[in-house]
Structure 1
Amino acid sequence: MGILSLMLAIPAIAAILCIFSGDRLARFVALGATLVNFALGLVMWRGFEVNGAQWQFVERADLFGRFQYALGIDGMALMLILLTAFLMPLCILASWQAIQKRVGLYMGMFLLMEAIVIGVFAAQDLILFYIFFEAALIPMYFIIGIWGGDNRKYAAFKFFLYTLLGSVLMLIAMIVMINTAGTSDITALLNYDFPTNMQFWLWLAFFASLAVKMPMFPVHTWLPDAHVQAPTAGSMILAGVLLKMGSYGFIRFMMPMFPDASADLMWVVFILSMIAVVYTSLIALVQNDMKKLIAYSSVAHMAIVTAGLFAFNQQGLEGALVIMLSHGVVSAALFFCVGVIYDRLHTREISRYGGLAINMPAYAVFFLLFTMASIGLPGTSGFVGEFLSLLGIYEASSFVALICATGIILGAAYMLYLYRRVVFGDLTKDDVKAMTDLNAREWAIMVPLAAVALWMGIYPESFLAPMRDDVAFVVERLADAKPAGDAQLAAPAVIAGVAQ
């Protein structure tokens, strides 16, 4: 058994143990399993050879027909698996006291989700990827539906239906791909040239599924409901990891496998991304629920990711990947910051707070750091990704870069407005006065999140280096694209027409 199979087996076995254990034992089993998996992730990172083979830690076993149990990672998958393994023990700690009913089942769902998400990023067989990709819906559905807020059933069904319906088209596209290429091996399909007319329909089928998963405008409406109703740890892992499966699908499948169609339809992605950046940022400005505000900010950040990816250059793709990692850490941290004060006052209404800097100074400092990282302050993780993305987008289209840059300005407006109303001002409300500062468990969650956000901002090369060759491979595939007619040349013209 290789290290990837081990990282799948440990949380899966621990999930079964948790389901049949008492509450106290389930918590410790879940925490132990996630910490072991994080340690294995660090071992894998240390053993990964930068500038080595594209695919490393490969495991293959023939099962039946064209289907293989095939695992392996490149630099992009490595970073996303590390992000998953890093966030999971923090989610378990965040749920330590907040979850009091069916604790064993709850911990089992989180462990099952960890195994499934790692499988998504490590799968090297198309059918295996699809199985993991769809299975990720199941534990999240139960986490929202059982342990969520008052309107949890509506949010859970909406989340499930939105994400499932789009994936049916992707399954049909995968069957066509396998029959055309004669293989379901992802590494082989990455170098296979599908006919240009076929690429168009395959691209649209994948887009229907992945756009919902990210989510992109206008199929983003499930996300605020899911975040508001999910428990704190559910929001952390939903924003931190599950949204990244959509953008991972863009850079793993759609762009290198359908380069001609990607060149034809890049203007569609640019226009939807520009609308999402401005529209969701303006909606975030008027929210009075902290979770909804952060949820809409996630849509805006992921819109910059899609624009960076479809800039079709090294800077744009690298920036998009760094935003994915940064957003995974920072959004999880922001949702935890909301959870900290929600556990004390049991409300997410911004107007109910104010003056927390007086009686919760440590909390105010951490909240400020994550707010600045979300805005993109130099020295934090958010700056590196946004700078690289905007640089790449500018090379493709200065107008798209201008619109995306307004999202950063609006992001500063709504995040600083949120921070001012919650942390600053007079401490006048008696129940807010009674709130205590961070305890030891909350410190144990805040410190690693803050350390990674600063590490990524100060020394991003440690995260960029493993992914650089893989980004170059995607850029090379896109450089050879042969769009139908003059569609690629027409894309900037279409955007310029929108600008006029």
Structure 2
Amino acid sequence: MHAQLAVPARAVAAARFPSGAERGRRPSRSHRAASRAVGAGGGAAPPLRLGARARRSRRDARRGAGAAVRVDVRALRPRRAPLGGAHRGPIPVTTLLVLIPALAAIFASPSLSRHAARRLGVATGLGVLLLAVSISIVWHLAGAVPASDVLDPGRWIGAAPLFAVDELNSLLLPFTAAIFAFVLLVQPNTLAIETTLRRLLLAESVTLATFLSSGPVVLAFLWCLSAVGGWLELRLQGAPGRGAARVFALYLASSCVLLLLGAVLLGSDSASTRGAATALIALALMVRKGIAPLHSWMPELFAHAPLPASVLFNAPQIGAWIAVRLVAPHAPLWILEVISLTSLATAVYGAGLALVQVDARRMFAWLFLSQSALVLVGLESQASIARAGGLSIWISSGLALAGFGMTIAALEARRGPLSLRQFAGGYERKPLLAACFLLLGLASVGFPGTLGFVGQEALVHGVVSDFPHLGFAILIASMLNGIAVLRTYFVLFCGREEPGRLPQRLRPREQLAFVTLAALLVLVGMFPGPFVRSRSRAGESMRLARAASADRATMPSMRSVLAHGAPRQHRATGDDQTPAPPRK
């Protein structure tokens, strides 16, 4: 102890931590004395090491300490839980997102005046949109972990929450609310808004509840409710819509049965039963997405139902949500490949038929069929960039196609049924409508400078990695869709002067809605970084969900091993025992 006190503190520090100039020199007498004194004090410090070996040792120690600090910091950060993870951090407004349009539907009586019905619909749509955007922002700021509502109905019965916000639906909620608010704002006055408002608000409630749910049985039930709403829109059109209603009921009823059976069987412990369940769900998905040859109902719906109702039934793409939640995590690889290949063929097939249509509504139906099939190609791909592209096209094409369809509805309200057999002219009387028609149509097919271009490029790169000889089909489908949009624009707005001198400009509410939507698609397309990163994280959560499903698939065999016990090795007893060799 006296020897330790006799050594100056500066010498001890210099012995332990030599300066840069002293690291390569021979230690001085004071350094050696300090080292011996510290070593004599009980071996608390290691002996002094010099030269290259000492420098490597200190460098490795610093790296190890830095790695430990980084691990501790990462542990403190909120982790992005994988799809289907635990629900944390209650958001007390998630259930209100579903309840507000449902409660507004109670007051949407057919006895309301048209002006009052529009005000109620617009106020409800904008309120739900504001709430959805707020939920998305708060969820990201709170750590981006799956979160449920303290008022969730599932908590009342002691079960898992029915509605939750995660990486996948954090943008789909404002996306869906924006489509409904936009359609309710620009819906033409020629339609009986007071009679359709209640059904539209109920459809919004069901769609938002679908995007907030992840349970197979709950999703199947909401799927059936949505299909009933589409059938009612056709059935209420009278004699012209009865044939289309029968076709619609034939396809969508079969998809409901298939999805219900698949949802019930998906909870089985048998691997073969789960495989059959995913096959049934995949068939139901292909019917709802209109994948050939299960597509005949979609052109009939667009041709005979009110165009706003047709847009709201298809633009959110509930079928894509079923693909994300139930098919992509659980289906065998061969089912995903079949869906991708048939969707790729449907995209080219729909684009070719859109190019030769003589009716604007049917052209829009085939254009929508082609673009929605491309979404499914990306979602069922095994490449991460293709999944991000499919998720991006889901939102970009949904917004653009909703706007494009409503420009057709606005033009129908001013001109009547739209034929593509001869040039109609009329650009001089409605220039803003013509410009929005062209911009939104090109944005839906991924025109450069718009939001759809980013997703289209990512999808092409990813699909080429999965199917090297078929990736060019996406380029062919996009090219044909772009030609179809340009052809429709030239026929409807160019070629001759439209008879009549009175202008047919858009109303102020229509101008606000169309210009805002077009500006949003262009602005986010010019600065797509945050949007693409969000969709990339969502694609990664899909990959993690599939990995977790594969791990769960091996659990029954592990449980059987634990139940029956592992094979026991023969243990010698009595005289057969041999003494253990002595330790050296």
TM range (shorter): 0.7 to 0.9
Other structure's SS at 2:358 match: coil
Q: How many residues align?
A: 459
> What do residues 169-217 of structure 1 show as CA deviations (whole Å, max 9, x unaligned)?
2212222233x2xxxxxxxxxxxxx654333211211012111111211
* C-alpha displacement of 1:430: 2.0
Using the alignment, how far apart are the partners of 2:398 and 2:181 within structure 1? Answer: 14
Using the alignment, how far apart are the partners of 1:462 and 1:350 within structure 2? Answer: 40
Contact 1:239 1:332 in 2 (8 A): no
Structure 1 pair 112–481 and aligned structure 2 pair: CA distance change class (3 A): closer
Structure 1 pair 110–400 and aligned structure 2 pair: CA distance change class (3 A): same
Could you say which residue in structure 1 is the equivalent of 2:176? 84
Could you say which residue in structure 2 is the equivalent of 1:30? 121
User: For 1:143-154, what aligned pairs fall within 5 Å after superposition?
Assistant: 143-146=233-236, 148=237, 151-154=240-243
* C-alpha displacement of 1:389: 0.8
Among candidates 126, 129, 134, match of residue 224 of structure 2? 134
Structure 1 pair 232–169 and aligned structure 2 pair: CA distance change class (3 A): closer
After TM superposition, where is structure 1 displaced by more than 6 Å over at least 4 residues in a row? 63-67, 479-482
Could you say which residue in structure 1 is the equivalent of 2:534? 466
Contact 2:424 2:491 in 1 (8 A): yes
Using the alignment, how far apart are the partners of 1:417 and 1:89 within structure 2? Answer: 29
1:169 equivalent to 2:258? Answer: yes
Structure 1 pair 152–463 and aligned structure 2 pair: CA distance change class (3 A): farther
Other structure's SS at 2:448 match: coil
* C-alpha displacement of 1:425: 1.6
- 2:169 alignment partner AA: A
Could you say which residue in structure 1 is the equivalent of 2:205? 115
User: For 1:371-382, what aligned pairs fall within 5 Å after superposition?
Assistant: 371-382=441-452
* C-alpha displacement of 1:36: 0.9
* C-alpha displacement of 1:434: 5.0
1:439 equivalent to 2:480? Answer: no
Structure 1 pair 358–214 and aligned structure 2 pair: CA distance change class (3 A): same
User: For 1:255-294, what aligned pairs fall within 5 Å after superposition?
Assistant: 255-258=328-331, 261=332, 263-294=333-364
Could you say which residue in structure 1 is the equivalent of 2:277? 202
Among candidates 397, 413, 433, match of residue 483 of structure 2? 413
Contact 1:94 1:232 in 2 (8 A): no
Contact 1:95 1:232 in 2 (8 A): no
Could you say which residue in structure 2 is the equivalent of 1:367? 437
Contact 2:344 2:474 in 1 (8 A): yes
Using the alignment, how far apart are the partners of 1:409 and 1:252 within structure 2? Answer: 31
* C-alpha displacement of 1:481: 8.7
Using the alignment, how far apart are the partners of 1:257 and 1:295 within structure 2? Answer: 31
Could you say which residue in structure 2 is the equivalent of 1:240? 315
Using the alignment, how far apart are the partners of 2:145 and 2:257 within structure 1? Answer: 30
Contact 1:91 1:233 in 2 (8 A): yes
Other structure's SS at 1:311 match: coil
Could you say which residue in structure 2 is the equivalent of 1:190? none
Higher relative contact order (CA 8 A, sep 6+): 1
1:220 equivalent to 2:295? Answer: yes
Deviates more, 1:54-63 or 1:130-139: 54-63
* C-alpha displacement of 1:479: 6.3
- 1:456 alignment partner AA: V
Using the alignment, how far apart are the partners of 2:134 and 2:355 within structure 1? Answer: 42
Contact 2:378 2:459 in 1 (8 A): yes
- 1:289 alignment partner AA: D
TM-score (norm 1): 0.85
Using the alignment, how far apart are the partners of 2:411 and 2:101 within structure 1? Answer: 30
Using the alignment, how far apart are the partners of 1:238 and 1:395 within structure 2? Answer: 33
Deviates more, 1:19-28 or 1:88-97: 19-28
Structure 2: gaps spanning 5 or more residues: 1-90, 551-584
Other structure's SS at 1:212 match: helix
Using the alignment, how far apart are the partners of 1:17 and 1:234 within structure 2? Answer: 19
* C-alpha displacement of 1:311: 2.1
Could you say which residue in structure 1 is the equivalent of 2:134? 43
Using the alignment, how far apart are the partners of 1:312 and 1:377 within structure 2? Answer: 25
Structure 1: gaps spanning 5 or more residues: 181-193, 483-500
Q: Percent identity?
A: 21
Structure 1 pair 221–37 and aligned structure 2 pair: CA distance change class (3 A): same
1:331 equivalent to 2:401? Answer: yes
* C-alpha displacement of 1:287: 0.3
Larger Rg: 2
Could you say which residue in structure 1 is the equivalent of 2:466? 396
Contact 2:266 2:274 in 1 (8 A): no
Could you say which residue in structure 1 is the equivalent of 2:249? 160
Other structure's SS at 1:328 match: helix
Could you say which residue in structure 1 is the equivalent of 2:186? 94
Contact 1:329 1:452 in 2 (8 A): no
Using the alignment, how far apart are the partners of 1:58 and 1:275 within structure 2? Answer: 41
Using the alignment, how far apart are the partners of 2:108 and 2:448 within structure 1? Answer: 42
Deviates more, 1:148-157 or 1:159-168: 148-157
Using the alignment, how far apart are the partners of 1:68 and 1:476 within structure 2? Answer: 21
* C-alpha displacement of 1:257: 2.5
Structure 1 pair 352–2 and aligned structure 2 pair: CA distance change class (3 A): farther
Using the alignment, how far apart are the partners of 1:405 and 1:96 within structure 2? Answer: 35
Using the alignment, how far apart are the partners of 2:469 and 2:437 within structure 1? Answer: 33
- 2:263 alignment partner AA: M
Contact 1:61 1:68 in 2 (8 A): no
Supply the RMSD in Å over aligned alpha carbons. Answer: 2.5
Other structure's SS at 2:164 match: strand
* C-alpha displacement of 1:88: 1.4
Using the alignment, how far apart are the partners of 2:510 and 2:451 within structure 1? Answer: 21
Structure 1 pair 206–366 and aligned structure 2 pair: CA distance change class (3 A): same
- 1:399 alignment partner AA: H
TM-score (norm 2): 0.73
Deviates more, 1:360-369 or 1:265-274: 265-274
Among candidates 105, 108, 113, match of residue 18 of structure 1? 108
Structure 1 pair 208–98 and aligned structure 2 pair: CA distance change class (3 A): same
Structure 1 pair 249–25 and aligned structure 2 pair: CA distance change class (3 A): same
Using the alignment, how far apart are the partners of 1:408 and 1:203 within structure 2? Answer: 30
- 1:209 alignment partner AA: A
Using the alignment, how far apart are the partners of 1:461 and 1:307 within structure 2? Answer: 23
Contact 2:223 2:256 in 1 (8 A): no
Using the alignment, how far apart are the partners of 1:452 and 1:156 within structure 2? Answer: 36
Other structure's SS at 2:496 match: coil
* C-alpha displacement of 1:121: 0.5
Structure 1 pair 363–222 and aligned structure 2 pair: CA distance change class (3 A): same
* C-alpha displacement of 1:467: 3.7
If each structure's helix is expressed as a fraction of its own residues, which one has the higher value?
Answer: 1
Using the alignment, how far apart are the partners of 2:524 and 2:212 within structure 1? Answer: 23
